[in-house]
Chains A and B, each alone.
Chain A
Amino acid sequence: MSSSPHEEGQRNGAFSGRVTASILLAFAALLAIATSRIEYAFSSDPLGPQAFPYLLSIALAICAAWYFLRPGAADPWPHSQMLWSAFSLIAVTAIAVGIMDYVGFLPTAFIICSWAAYLFGSGPAGALGIGAVQAAFWFALFKYGLGTYLPAGTLFFPG
């Protein structure tokens, strides 16, 4: 009826391993399709641009099948709260980066740093403070210290 945590972990690993293997298998198939669509006029070598990717997709398919049959051990997948916070970190970072050309580097850095600080245990006020200090410091260092281009944001500084 009840199973030991160890067995649980193994069964968990087997399941997520099979999921990964299936994804890899699908990926190998997609790769083969994408390879068949590579356009080129001619190649100066007899193998051509498609030989390597085809070879790799076949090898990946074989390995994925093997992995599906023998999934081995894996870390248990995290519970929902953890998964949610990891997802939020990725999503917040990706969205903030996605709007960087529009809003500029400073707001982007502020959002990312504040959210990361908050997730790693800082209080809301502290997190905002960390975000502000980090954004200002790295902006000053890269923009004025190293002279690199950082977007000012078309929202506030329409070109």
Chain B
Amino acid sequence: MSLDYLWTGFAVALTPTNLLYSLLGCFLGTLIGALPAIGPINGIALILPIAYTMKMPPESCMILLAAIYYGAEYGGRITSILINVPGDAGAVMTAMDGFPLAKQGRGAEALTMSALSSFVGGILAVVGLTFFAPLLGLFAVKFGPAEYVALMVFAFATLASMVGAEPVKTLIGCLIGLLLTTIGLDPTSGAYRFTFDQPELHDGIEFIIIVIGLFSISEILLMLEHKFAGTLKPIPIGKGFPSWADIKACWWPTIRSSVSGFIIGVLPGTGASVASAVAYTTEKRLLDKGTFGKGDMRGLAAPEAANNAAAGGAFVPMLTLGVPGSGTTAVMLGALLLYNIQPGPQLFTEKPELAGGLIASMYIGNIMLLIMNIPMVRLFVKMLQVPNTWLIPTILLLSILGVYTAYSSVTSVLMMIAIGVMGWALRKQGFDMAPIILGFVLGKVLETNLRNALALSGGEVSILFQSTISNSLWVMAVLIVILPWWLARRSRREAIDARDHP
């Protein structure tokens, strides 16, 4: 494919006004991502009408909205790392190793490292978007219900890495997550499951309610306990830049996670939260020697690269097929239609200033975000110096506001608090929150697609093994379970050999 549209695009994106919109979008996005209450979709829904009434040209509007979107993926990591409260849904896995790092006084390092891996993920996604968009569009179309089932089985296979010292607790956590997905409308039968006549539950429990409950509310209760036990210590800030050895260790996890995150982002049925979950559990399965979850830089870099890459990937179906790849791109698609622009492959030839301008602005925006984020680390870590008497009420209130702005319903807020209390009790019992999150993220996609696939085949299970894509995913699922075990055995044998034959 000719890249002419891209040069046109750079000419558009590099005009002073559009550069300003990029910068504004990156800044707003980082802020929106960092506030635990508001995610990119709310941010874009708020900004879009303003942009439209200002008669902003379509390409500038897209540049601004896109910058908010991927800026938010950068911003979400900040509160994840510093206070264990994910800023948005894609940043949940970032807290797994990010927060332990902050507790060790490596918060600033972690912020810098995650900015770097976010940048790599973001840039690789734009490169993928530039060169493979039409091809990937065709690939996304190949994913039917059966293929999604195989993908989810692969994702569950990577979960084997989460089984720690107490496998029963991991299993129970995962089951709780799966159970939460069964609440609400069951699409294949139209039945309401476990809704107890509450309309708030008809569409099921939104991911963000679970994230806010399990993380912010339970974190506040744990902190309260530490306060009474006298063990609530201020977290030291530490040096700002990670060591060269850390960066080198993170290189391959970042690249791998960017690629897998981008591909998962391209698929319309899965987004940043699935991408970062799969990236984290895959890296843990491949690399973990007992350091993941206790402050391993690689466990931080992987999900951050993946969620940024997924945000970029979501643009592929939007631009090539005119079908949104995520909730946020759905709102952006609506914006294009407002301007009477039909998204689709013809965008690249008919409206090169738009398609090209958008893609070019994503190169520029990611560079801006990196430049903006590294010096801002110093500013972000100041959050740790805010006294708890101010910080805790803020987190608590933002948690409530976050749920309330989406549902405008008291019942939903009370539900979030109840989930938080449950999370606190489980954490006290030595349960990890990650399996609950993973069970929830993957469960819905699995059940819906499995049942859709069986509805298509009239109950024939063979439909799950009919395409090359599903079969490759099944093989990968088996490999991800067996390979690390086999590698460990081999290296042990080599160690024995080396000892026996010096």
Contact = CB atoms under 8 A, between A and B. Distances in A.
Interface of A: 13, 16-17, 20, 24, 31, 34-35, 38-49, 52-53, 56, 59-60, 63-64, 66-67, 70, 72-75, 77-78, 81-82, 85-86, 89-90, 93-94, 97-98, 100-101, 109, 112-114, 116-117, 119-122, 126-127, 130-131, 134-135, 138, 142, 146-150
B193 interface: yes
B458 to A, nearest CB: 8
Given A42-B189, A117-B393, A94 B224 contact: no
A94 B186 contact: no
Contacts of A43: 188-189, 191, 451
B169 interface: yes
Of A13, A17, A40, A70, which is in contact with the most chain B CB atoms at under 10 Å from its CB? A40
Given A47-B451, A113-B396, A82 B228 contact: yes
Nearest to A72: B166
B228 A72 contact: no
A86 B393 contact: no
Given A112-B396, A119-B224, A46 B389 contact: no
B397 interface: yes
Interface string B443-485: 0000100111011001100000000000000000000000000
B425 interface: yes
A86 to B, nearest CB: 5
Q: Is the interface of B mostly helix, strand, loop or mixed?
A: helix
Given A34-B194, A147-B46, A48 B396 contact: no
Given A72-B430, A147-B46, A138 B189 contact: no
B191 A116 contact: no
A93 B417 contact: yes
B221 A120 contact: no
Given A113-B397, A131-B393, A138-B401, A94 B452 contact: no
Interface string B409-438: 010011001000100111011100000000
A154 to B, nearest CB: 12
Contacts of A60: 172, 175-176, 179
A47 B448 CA distance: 11
Given A89-B221, A127-B389, A134-B397, A142 B405 contact: yes
A70 B182 contact: no
A74 B189 contact: no
A45 B168 contact: no
8 contacts: A16-B429, A40-B191, A45-B189, A49-B189, A86-B424, A97-B413, A116-B220, A121-B389
A13 to B, nearest CB: 8
B397 A138 contact: yes
Contacts of A135: 397
Interface string B227-268: 111000000000000000000000000000000000000000
